[in-house]
Structure 1
């Protein structure tokens, strides 16, 4: 299934159809759909596709290339010799998992620099390299220190699909079920393609499978980025259970003096984790919180990693996940809502943020916002604030993964108005909104912006 990569496909096709040499780098986390995108772009064009492995790549590459250019069989085992044969035909050459070539031979970067500069630059050859290791692609291929710096004619970073695109995978699912699926698979195509409806039956059967990808997938992802992932796993587990400040993470791990900053920096670099600051603070603030960027990784460390023994023994019950899942998605009691420490990843908050961004693009809000994010200070939190600092306009938003009546909505919005006075935007034109799972009699709340999953169906 190939869903919503139109912009990336258009950009790639423009490079493939150009009348000159092109060197395109495509990167992004594993399972994101890089290979599928590259192969889709050349599905009706002769090309050479090679998936790099951990050793003997010269020999393997020749074997695959010879199926398209048989005369390459006569070339000696040397990358320059190979490309000398290939440029005679202005071929499209795709090398997947390029970091494996770097691991096998660190000099490959300088060698490819020479190949580009001496052999390819004045041809119509198209060279596309793909990579899943964000750390290696960033440091070895994309950084200004790389021998390949300045040679690329295009870079595509492939990101997860948006929540709204889940509807294309599951046209018969309700929006509530799509939120549940999103909390598990995020917008990662590989995981979404594995899911069958009904979701909970699929998940129950998947967990019980002896060869379930759930048991090994995150280990595989982490070993791809880190030589020793043990401490990184502990940090991710801490964050998955709602420990978002440096102090909370240290307390969860039971350590006092160890410096976790380098580990968090590395987790941010490979996009396992992101650091957020209150939307009104400067980037240099020390009020940052750490969140896992990927719902699938959060799900794993919240539900699979702590229960691996029970899952291996076949005694784990899906009801243990079901009992906590609404809280994981974003359900909070009023008392919990007023606590500084978030108890969940609040998946629905991510969905709501994306929904507001879509409304913003469609001009469906009272003003066009330029920034959106969380806010917190001294025990008070606001789920989302959307700002236009130029026009001095602000939208304060509460997000609730629960069904609400008018009385509950008014109580939440009154509390939101109280909290908004603490933010320090007294000279702004202020608007208030609430986004819930289901809100009854929304027509009675005309003074506010009120949305629920029914509106997702209408507007998305």
Structure 2
């Protein structure tokens, strides 16, 4: 299941492995995204060494021990990186969590540069460096890095798309609930059971639940001190989305901007602007992009005491409120596929907010994660918003779990869960 929607990545890595030249491949992405499993699958059948770097000291000695188990002659090789790679010429060498080597020895990138330029030049050696620290791996890719210009390929491993959850056996209704918790992160998706709310409430009562400390581990891959970052994320999860609101909540003065930029850089948050505005718009709001992190700061972090006591539960009402924005994301994915829209998102001006608006004004929409919605009223309200903003669109689409009343106008389309199932289950949009 871990290789769902990873066929292109596997093919790209194997193409590099089959080349007749030296390759330096950098593969990175957030913790639990499936980088290691992807690479281990790709190198099957190739003469290779896989080494998982560790925090602390002695990674070189540990690497030699690992390589020796695969290639016994390494036992007689001098214990330095240049000698080791000379002995492993024309092999596949995978170093997982390469940022740990950088923490141990700041000169390691320069050492690897020399190995590539002098020790391995003209060979068919394949070096694959993996990392969960997106900031560190991005630095390696920058022009300031000694390895700049040496890499032959790089790959950011992203989350699975929402529709891929069907291949894990989740029906649409449960998939939306699970997507709000796990996003498209394979590790989390393989942990979940249905019904989701029963599972999550049971999981949160476990003394050894992986959920409790997961975000701390995730942040420590990127930052040495994480307390301020956690307070910033809590503020955003609580609906404090502007720079001023976050600064007031956290109380770190003007420094909050630098924290936000670092969180943006690693993909945990993003600055969302109204879809008709430029990226530099002053109307931007910060949102938590990573769904597991968003879930954690909405339900786990504020309730850690009750969770430790084993008395905390997420109610269906609370979770349905949380799923409103998740349902919007699913609706946007549907509309992008069906109408081939280039840019679609939320739009707001003063007290007017529209859930879905196409930048080219082909389409506007509203989403209600509710049963038996009065679609006629939603249509009337949306038309009022468009009129107030002096916007004209060709089509209106309204999403809900189900409707009890609809307008018969040709300008509006109502999409309930039954209609979404066709797209979700078969990949077709009609």
> 1:166 maps to which residue?
165
The answer for unaligned runs of 5 or more in structure 1 is: 331-345, 360-364
Alignment of 1:244-255 (within 5 A): 244-253=241-250, 255=251
1:243 aligns with 2:240: yes
Whole-Å Cα distance in 2 between the matches of residues 433 and 252 of structure 1?
37
> 2:427 maps to which residue?
none
Q: 2:189 aligns with which of 192, 209, 213?
A: 192
Alignment of 1:348-387 (within 5 A): 348-359=327-338, 365=339, 368-387=340-359
The DSSP-based 3-state class of the residue aligned with 2:267 is coil
> 2:25 maps to which residue?
24
Alignment of 1:12-411 (within 5 A): 12-54=13-55, 55-87=57-89, 90-139=90-139, 141-169=140-168, 171=169, 173-253=170-250, 255=251, 257-316=253-312, 318=313, 320-330=314-324, 346-359=325-338, 365=339, 368-388=340-360, 393-405=361-373, 408-411=374-377
Distance 1:439 1:43, change over 3 A: farther
**Residue 256 of structure 1: CA displacement?**
8.7
Q: Deviations over 1:105-124 (max 9, x none)?
A: 01000000111111223111
Whole-Å Cα distance in 1 between the matches of residues 252 and 228 of structure 2?
15
**Residue 248 of structure 1: CA displacement?**
2.7
Q: Deviations over 1:362-383 (max 9, x none)?
A: xxx3xx3221121111111111
Distance 1:123 1:322, change over 3 A: same
The DSSP-based 3-state class of the residue aligned with 1:160 is coil
**Residue 20 of structure 1: CA displacement?**
1.4
**Residue 104 of structure 1: CA displacement?**
0.5
**Length, aligned pairs only:** 422
Q: Given that residues 52 and 98 in structure 1 are in contact (C-alpha distance below 8 angstroms), is that contact kept between their aligned partners in structure 2? A: yes
TM-score (structure 2 length as normaliser): 0.93
Whole-Å Cα distance in 1 between the matches of residues 405 and 117 of structure 2?
67
The DSSP-based 3-state class of the residue aligned with 2:362 is strand
Cα-Cα RMSD: 1.8
Q: Given that residues 403 and 438 in structure 1 are in contact (C-alpha distance below 8 angstroms), is that contact kept between their aligned partners in structure 2? A: yes
Q: Deviations over 1:134-177 (max 9, x none)?
A: 111112x11110001111111110111111111111x2x33111
Whole-Å Cα distance in 2 between the matches of residues 227 and 422 of structure 1?
48
The DSSP-based 3-state class of the residue aligned with 1:66 is helix
**Residue 235 of structure 1: CA displacement?**
1.1
> 1:335 maps to which residue?
none
Q: Deviations over 1:233-291 (max 9, x none)?
A: 111111112221123323444x4954421111111112111001111112221111000
TM-score (structure 1 length as normaliser): 0.88
Whole-Å Cα distance in 2 between the matches of residues 377 and 53 of structure 1?
49
Q: 2:378 aligns with which of 409, 412, 415?
A: 412
Whole-Å Cα distance in 2 between the matches of residues 182 and 410 of structure 1?
29
Whole-Å Cα distance in 1 between the matches of residues 47 and 177 of structure 2?
41
**Residue 438 of structure 1: CA displacement?**
2.1
**Residue 97 of structure 1: CA displacement?**
0.3
Q: Given that residues 334 and 423 in structure 2 are in contact (C-alpha distance below 8 angstroms), is that contact kept between their aligned partners in structure 1? A: no
Q: Given that residues 303 and 321 in structure 1 are in contact (C-alpha distance below 8 angstroms), is that contact kept between their aligned partners in structure 2? A: no
